[in-house]
Structure 1
Amino acid sequence: MNSMFMNIAHRGASQYAPENTMAAFYKSLEMGANGLETDLRKSKDGVIILHHDEQLERTTNGTGRPSDYTWKQLQMLDAGSWFSEMYRGERLVSFDTFLYVFGGKPIHLALEMKESGIENEVIQILKEHEELMEKVTITSFDFEILQTIRQRHDSVRLGHLVRQWDEEHLKRLQEIGVIQICPPAETVTPEGVRLLKQHGFEVRAWKVVNESMMKHCLRSGVDGMTINYPDKLNDALQSNVYNL
């Protein structure tokens, strides 16, 4: 899976469609993404859902936390019209549905754990789709969440979202079998990428805010990016413009 550059659509093609909706995921694959990134949280009745923020307000017409509502209640929310009228009626997506629709495709699935306490449920669902394990990378900013995931499953791919790192940090990650480091694009350097690869890590950049930053990351030798506009990254990869 990992010989090819990872063009991973950040919450789907979130530049062009409301994030973490089926519309955004479908659009990203049409635009040449070979992976989907999404965020996992839990409803009041224990359903794992795709939602980034702690609160519902920014991307739905709901209020409060997802965990304040049952999945049936969350399904009633409009998760599209905040982005544009064209997407009115887009719904929140459950993790089960996401895996059912996209799990059979030859793409990467990057799953960011947005809260602790959902590790058991996430691993249980993934165990029901054991054939997906080589495609899935579970990521978090929280080292303890990654530790817990490793205790629940001895081989699922783990990635650590970092804002900075040092040798001691890398050693701790290696001890629990983390294989991917995800630094923000603005901190990426060719030297840093080379060092991380020498330690055996894949490097996937995030917060790629513009095409200039995208090309900088490509020149720096990263293995992939989480990006809002996978079409532009696809074009750059096809044309090798970052080598100019």
Structure 2
Amino acid sequence: MAAQNIEIVVHRGANALAPENTIASTDSALKYGATWIELDIRKSKDGVLFNLHDETLDRTTNGKGRLADMLAKDVGKLDASSWFSLLYQGEPVPTIAYMLDYLKGKAKVFFDVKRGTPIPALIHLVREKGFADNSFFWFADEGMLREFITLAPEMKIKVNAGDIDRLKYWQAICKPSFVEIAPEKITDKFRKYCHKHGIKVMAACQEDDTSQFQLVIDKQADMVNLDRPEVFQPLLTKKQNAGY
């Protein structure tokens, strides 16, 4: 029996190949089989949503301070790539609107919704750009999750859970479509429970460690959330070509 297909979800784009959260890292991820691109949602002082992981601009741009304290027009002037390599000099901090326009027809979107994000504005943008059916959302803040499912009950939610009991906690609050879990915690019982309830199992393999990639395949995850698609894709292809 042929190996299953595992959907590749990229965390900040293929960020070992290009500067994170930019069009360049997105293109690199798509090149290596990604079907989902993670976008980190943060708001400027005047309410424009940007794709930036950190609360501050210091680490990944030539700017300083909190994004929330800057106007969008000033954020748009920043270089979000020279810190990574001069080969990418001039890559901007992209707005979420621009990212969605760019990804239309190329990939689906995983929204990591940071604290302070205006939920109604995000929902409006996602619907306007045609991604309501081609996305899912994760909230570190449970209060924001509750607000979101009230305003957009039709949109898909991802939760984090290490076992069935924790997943049941989230099921009492919302209807998860995806659950993220460490690959070593995926059991047959957990996977069967998820599939019975229409939930896809996404293995968490973020950061630069690729040592668990084979485990993700062996555990038969539906999806994997990672930073290194250029390492994972050849492993998956090798398994599929082997026909088992």
Q: Same fold (TM over 0.5)?
A: yes
- Residue 18 of structure 1 aligns to a residue whose secondary structure is coil
Relative to structure 1, the CA distance from residue 91 to residue 181 in structure 2 (aligned partners, 3 Å threshold; closer, same or farther) is same
Q: Per the alignment, do residues 86 and 151 of structure 1 end up closer, same or farther by CA in structure 2, a change over 3 Å counting? A: same
What whole-Å deviation, never above 9, does each CA across 1:29-58 have from its counterpart, x for those lacking one?
122212211200100010010001111111
1:234 alignment counterpart: 233
In the other structure, the counterpart of 2:137 is: 138
Deviation of the 1:91 alpha carbon: 0.7
Equivalent residues of 1:12, 1:19 under 8 A apart: yes
In 2, Cα distance between equivalents of 1:199 and 1:181: 11
Q: Which residue of structure 2 lines up, in the alignment, with residue 40 of structure 1?
A: 41
Aligned residue number for residue 160 of structure 1: 159
2:129 alignment partner AA: H
* Equivalence for 1:202: 200
Bigger CA drift: 13-22 or 231-240? 231-240
Identity percentage of aligned residues? 26
**Counterpart in 2 of 1:52?**
53
Measure the CA separation in 2 of the matches of 1:189 and 1:82. Answer: 41
Indicate yes or no: 2:220 matched with 1:215: no
Q: For residue 147 of structure 2, what is the aligned residue in structure 1?
A: 148
Equivalent pairs, count: 239
Give TM-score scaled by structure 2 length: 0.88
Q: Letter of the aligned partner of 1:18 in structure 2?
A: P
Structure 1 residues 85-130: Cα deviation after superposition (integer angstroms, max 9, x where no partner)? 212211100011011111232x221111011442111101012134
Aligned residue number for residue 68 of structure 2: 67
Report Cα offsets for 1:50-92 as digits up to 9, x if no partner.
Answer: 0011111111111111001011110111110111221221110
Structure 2 unpaired stretches of 5+: none
Cα separation, partners in 2 of 1:228 and 1:73, compared to 1, 3 Å: same
Measure the CA separation in 2 of the matches of 1:168 and 1:49.
31
Q: Give the aligned residue type for 1:170.
A: K
- Give CA deviations for 1:161-199 in whole Å, capped at 9, x if unaligned: 45x455255243354222111124464455543443344
Work out whether residues 141 and 161 of structure 1, in 8 Å CA contact, stay in contact via their aligned partners in 2.
no
Secondary structure at the aligned position of 1:7 is classed as strand
Residue equivalent to 1:128? 128
Taking a change above 3 Å as real, the CA distance of residues 239 and 174 of structure 1, as seen in their structure-2 partners, is farther
Counterparts of 1:65 and 1:51, CA distance in 2: 11
Structure 2 Cα separation of the partners of residues 212 and 54 of structure 1: 29
Q: Secondary structure at the match of 2:15?
A: coil
Q: Secondary structure at the match of 2:45?
A: coil
Q: Which amino acid aligns with 1:83?
A: F
Q: Matches of 2:197 and 2:165 in 1, distance apart?
A: 10
Counterparts in 2 of 1:203 and 1:168: CA distance versus 1, 3 Å: closer
The corresponding residue for 1:119 is: 119
Cα distance change, pair 125–68 in 1 and its aligned pair in 2 (3 A): same
| Helix, strand or coil at the partner of 2:212 | helix
In structure 1, the gaps of 5 or more residues are none
Determine which structure has greater relative contact order: mean sequence separation of CA pairs < 8 Å that are 6+ residues apart, divided by chain length: 2
Q: Is the 8 A contact 1:37 1:110 kept in 2?
A: yes
TM-score where L is the length of structure 1: 0.88
> Which whole-Å CA distance do the structure 2 matches of 1:243 and 1:84 have between them?
40
The answer as to whether partners of 2:179 and 2:201 remain within 8 angstroms in 1 is yes
Matched residue, 1:225: 224
The root-mean-square deviation of aligned C-alpha atoms, in Å, is 2.3
Q: After the TM superposition, which parts of structure 1 deviate over 6 Å for at least 4 consecutive aligned residues?
A: 241-244
Could you tell me how far apart the structure 2 residues matched to 1:222 and 1:120 are?
33
Structure 2 residue corresponding to 1:179, chosen from 165, 170, 177: 177
Cα distance in 1 between the residues matched to 2:25 and 2:137: 20
**Whole-Å separation in 2 of the counterparts to 1:55 and 1:158:** 26
